[in-house]
Amino acid sequence: MKTKIVKLEQLEHNENELKEAGQILRDGGLVAFPTETVYGLGADGLNSEASAKIYSAKGRPSDNPLILHIADIKTVDVLAKDVSKEARKVMEVFWPGPLTVILNKKEVVPYGTTGGLDTVAIRMPSHPVARELIKVAGVAVAAPSANTSGRPSPTTAQHVLQDMDGRIDMIVDGGKVGIGIESTIVDMTGEIPMILRPGYITKPMLEQVIGKEVRIDPAILSKEGMDGIRPKAPGMKYKHYAPKGELTIVSSHNMDNMVQTINKLAKEKLDAGYVVGIIATEETKDQYPNGVVKEIGSRKDQVSISAGLYSVLRDFDDAGVEFIYSEGFEQDDFGQAIMNRLLKAAGYEMIRV
Ligand code: TXA
Ligand code: MG
């Protein structure tokens, strides 16, 4: 299969390309497209055969359910039932945006899309290209992140091409995405809303709108949790986002200590002849004399860090880096989502100094 790439920088000048992408989706094909979080790999989510193609293109385990992307909040009632007042409120406030809501599914949603579950994940993205594409396609677009299973999620069309060339019909290139890590997932089917995957929409933001406590799935917070308890989002149990090099996070409240420790660890590996990468920030990048140093973003702007994370991990893979040392980040609200991805990539290897 030849993968067609179309650049969509200005929507109003690209109606024909969007129509073509929409037609591919209606015909049961695969189209990768940008969202505000990461690039998605789309298929008609109500067509089991089409969503089955997603699993084979990604090499994704079939028990890992897909998110249905919609462009109009009314579509929720086509796909889901027993939608509580609180769930509606959350969708009205945070959509379109980086929030996925788990609801009880209606019969139209095939088990092939939900990995056999009776619940369905739904999200209305805010990225203008994603919204237009879903509208033009006129179907609920099932879309996981457009990476090969186990690789970092793609934040540019180039990343998608690296993983999906020859495996999908089309890549819609809308430039670099904004947030760079996947949407928050909140399960609204139970008495107490539960965050199954942390993201840009945080627990306090949800609590403020819902007006009561929101819990975080304990299984996703630590390695101990992951070993002991089964996470409620099936995808969270896999070792995701793993770079080829061995990643260690060095965390400290004292920047100087952190930098010194990273330099010491890096030097040991360099002296032993290994290729070493360092994940630095704008504030610290000049303090690392050795190794392949990549600036991920600025500590003053958390979104710059989330937006840079996956791309840096991919760069290190391409550079054949064997050991990676990353600075640690604060685990406050959105910081928790960033550290969740970084910790998973590190297999929970973190040194506190
Ligand atoms: O930001 C995002 O959400 C991106 C963009 C493309 O929208 N999509 C994304 O999809 O991250 P994916 O497939 O890579 O991750 C979906 C996660 C998986 O961990 C999956 O197990 C979980 O959502 N999930 C999907 N349906 C679920 C359900 N019914 N119950 C629990 N977890 C579910
Ligand atoms: Mg993914």
Would you state the structure tokens that stand for residue 172, as one six-digit string?
Answer: 């819609």
58 CA to middle of ligand 2, Å?
A: 10
Q: Bridge partners of 99?
A: 184
187 CA to middle of ligand 1, Å?
A: 11
CA angle, corner 312, sides to 222 and 124, nearest 5? Answer: 70
> Can you tell me the distance from the alpha carbon of 144 to that of 185, in angstroms, rounded to the nearest whole number?
13
φ/ψ (deg, to 5) at 36? -70, -15
> Can you tell me the distance from the alpha carbon of 191 to that of 86, in angstroms, rounded to the nearest whole number?
10
Which residues touch 50 (CB under 8 Å, ≥6 apart)?
25, 28, 29, 30, 43, 44, 142
Q: Is any ligand 1 atom within 6 A of the Cβ of residue 51?
A: no
Nearest CA to ligand 1 atom 18: 235
Residue-by-residue pLDDT tens, the chain, 353 positions: 999 999 987 777 788 999 999 999 999 999 999 999 999 999 999 999 999 999 999 999 888 999 999 999 999 999 999 999 999 999 999 999 999 999 999 999 999 999 999 999 999 999 999 999 999 999 999 999 999 998 899 999 999 999 999 999 999 999 999 999 999 999 999 999 999 999 999 999 999 999 999 999 988 766 655 556 778 888 777 666 778 899 999 999 999 999 999 999 999 999 999 999 999 999 999 999 999 999 999 999 999 999 999 999 999 999 999 999 999 999 999 999 999 999 989 988 899 99
How far is CA 233 from each of CA 3, 138, 279, 282, rounded to the nearest angstrom?
31, 27, 29, 34
Model pTM score: 0.96
Mutate-to-test residue for ligand 1 from 35, 55, 179, 185, highest number of ligand atoms within 8 A of CB: 185
Ligand at minimal distance from the CA of 240 is 2
Mutate-to-test residue for ligand 1 from 39, 145, 148, highest number of ligand atoms within 8 A of CB: 145
